Structure 1
């Protein structure tokens, strides 16, 4: 792709040569003359010097832009830049035409003994072409500045998103550790050996949390394996927890934010009384584009702290906002509570 702001030397010379090649017939047509095939020798000479004049203008405009671009940007010094650019464009155009025509007259004096009218015509044409080059490079400069601003804005937005995601992830990890240590504390009073086993498994579970705390997405398969480990820890404390999985192979390869299932399972543990008569049944199921976690309801007689109740679900909602417009869906009946979360695709 051509860099319009600073095209390569080969492109610049090619453009100058092409314009020079067509200059003679175009000027002859403008002046109302017929192009004769017998003028090929003069045509070649005129084209050569016209190409040199255009190369002169292109190179000087690029040199000028490089000098002024960082010192006097169009956005910050519009009028000053305009007042400097306009006379420079006239000077570059007039100088290019003067050098080209002078060389032409020296080489083909008899054929190109130009009158004052023709000098004025060629100077006007050269200045107009210089203004065209100046306008072209300034448009290229503005486009480049606009594209650079878009890239910087996108980079800043991505950095902001990563920072917000990291903040949300950091909300999860300490909360998870706090609840796990509460489980360990309860087991220590009941069975020391079981507590040791619990802590060993907790180390494995927390390794997963630390490994993925900087990840924006993980596979459903990884998340379900992590949920199994977490449920194994929960069963040591509550015992009466049953889980059933029905997730398609395609869904296992899709993505969700890390520790999403752990938050939903923890929510079920937090809000329900789990007993031999009323075990907690958990169902993890998939549809074409969603993952569903359902649990039976047996609300505690003493309601838990409601300031904590919505924290986990709100965390999931906020993290999903970074990836999709599809919202998580919550459904509740007397017997069942379910949360449906969208399945995502990994970035290409």
Structure 2
């Protein structure tokens, strides 16, 4: 906002400098530069007076009250008074070489009115442009604040869901007196630190996302009663690459929820990550259980992911969900630049 006001001050000064220079150049060609000074300074004084009376007082009152008739009446009165005083001053300071017939002609009065009206209208348009750009800036700031709040709310929904699932897993391990319980607790502490602290940032290093997903896969592997074919392949150099956090968590959780059962030793999950300076591609593929009857409905998690992608990567992502009788495939591409 300060930069906008500074630019408008520079624009005002530039306009008046150009106006004076051009006016002086035209007049001094006819009557010389010494005699031209009153012909420049007198119109400048009255034009500045009326322009900023309209700019700083009449227009703001009209914008607040929205009374067009009252504004026009006040403006016409001020304009008429200003033109009368301007014409009288020009006649008083006019050089003796200028014919009196010209000073008292209708052409002289009309030209004085036209010059003043042009300047006042130009400065008035600046007032409207300032208001318009200020409103645009406020609207943009409000929109960004609303989007930021919505994005934080969507990310906050992930934490309770993940914590609920993990506590169930931890309860099961403790109930069965699994020797893996201490290891699970240690991994859970690291993951919760990431969820509560690092994931609140707009972007995080890809290396942290990789570590979080490895911990999650290890946690799920420990929970299951049998080994599951889990593959996590990273291609490319993740150093220096930043992405929005936890975008793939919903698909990972769904892969284990819908594709892995304790009584199915043939269950499998494959996770892939391909990183480049301009793109980041995620893939999650898992085996599917036999389809239930009825038409599946999109869950809250999927709707959450789609909305987060729309906010964090507008027009810079592609999400493809492919269903087959025996597997479910997720492919997400993020365009980083």
Residue 336 of structure 1 corresponds to 327
Residue 244 of structure 1 corresponds to 232
Query: 2:18 matched to 1:15?
Result: yes
Residue 163 of structure 2 corresponds to 177
| TM-score, with structure 1 as normaliser | 0.80
The secondary structure found in structure 1 opposite 2:36 is helix
Residue 251 of structure 2 corresponds to 264
Residue 53 of structure 1 corresponds to 42
Give the Cα–Cα distance (whole angstroms) in 2 for the partners of residues 5 and 135 of structure 1.
Answer: 16
2:102 and 2:108 in contact (8 A); partners too: no
Residue 291 of structure 1 corresponds to 281
TM-aligned CA distance change 1:58 to 1:234, over 3 Å:
farther
| TM-score, with structure 2 as normaliser | 0.82
Shift of 1:119: 5.0
TM-aligned CA distance change 1:83 to 1:19, over 3 Å:
farther
Shift of 1:335: 3.4
Structure 1: gaps of 5 or more residues: 26-34
Residue 152 of structure 2 corresponds to 166
How many residue pairs align between the two structures?
A: 324
2:285 and 2:330 in contact (8 A); partners too: no
Residue 211 of structure 1 corresponds to 197
Residue 123 of structure 1 corresponds to 109
The secondary structure found in structure 1 opposite 2:32 is helix
Give the Cα–Cα distance (whole angstroms) in 2 for the partners of residues 333 and 302 of structure 1.
Answer: 14
2:267 and 2:287 in contact (8 A); partners too: no
Which aligned pairs between 1:72-83 and structure 2 lie closer than 5 A?
72-73=62-63, 76-83=66-73
Query: 2:300 matched to 1:311?
Result: yes
Residue 31 of structure 1 corresponds to none
The secondary structure found in structure 1 opposite 2:270 is strand
Give the Cα–Cα distance (whole angstroms) in 2 for the partners of residues 302 and 294 of structure 1.
Answer: 22
The secondary structure found in structure 1 opposite 2:63 is coil
Structure 2: gaps of 5 or more residues: none
Q: Which moved more, 1:50-59 or 1:289-298?
A: 289-298
State the Cα RMSD in Å.
Answer: 3.2
Give the Cα–Cα distance (whole angstroms) in 1 for the partners of residues 186 and 145 of structure 2.
Answer: 36
The secondary structure found in structure 1 opposite 2:248 is helix
The secondary structure found in structure 2 opposite 1:266 is helix
Shift of 1:219: 4.1
TM-aligned CA distance change 1:274 to 1:294, over 3 Å:
farther
Residue 157 of structure 1 corresponds to 143
Give the Cα–Cα distance (whole angstroms) in 2 for the partners of residues 74 and 99 of structure 1.
Answer: 35
Give the Cα–Cα distance (whole angstroms) in 2 for the partners of residues 21 and 278 of structure 1.
Answer: 92
TM-aligned CA distance change 1:58 to 1:176, over 3 Å:
farther
TM-aligned CA distance change 1:24 to 1:298, over 3 Å:
closer
Query: 2:170 matched to 1:197?
Result: no
Shift of 1:132: 0.4
Q: Which moved more, 1:176-185 or 1:90-99?
A: 90-99
Residue-by-residue CA offset, 1:116-150 (whole Å, 9 max, x unaligned) = 76454333211111110111012111122221222
Give the Cα–Cα distance (whole angstroms) in 2 for the partners of residues 315 and 8 of structure 1.
Answer: 47
Give the Cα–Cα distance (whole angstroms) in 1 for the partners of residues 290 and 325 of structure 2.
Answer: 13
The secondary structure found in structure 2 opposite 1:329 is strand
TM-aligned CA distance change 1:10 to 1:256, over 3 Å:
closer
Shift of 1:55: 2.0
The secondary structure found in structure 2 opposite 1:70 is helix
1:217 and 1:257 in contact (8 A); partners too: yes
The secondary structure found in structure 2 opposite 1:259 is coil
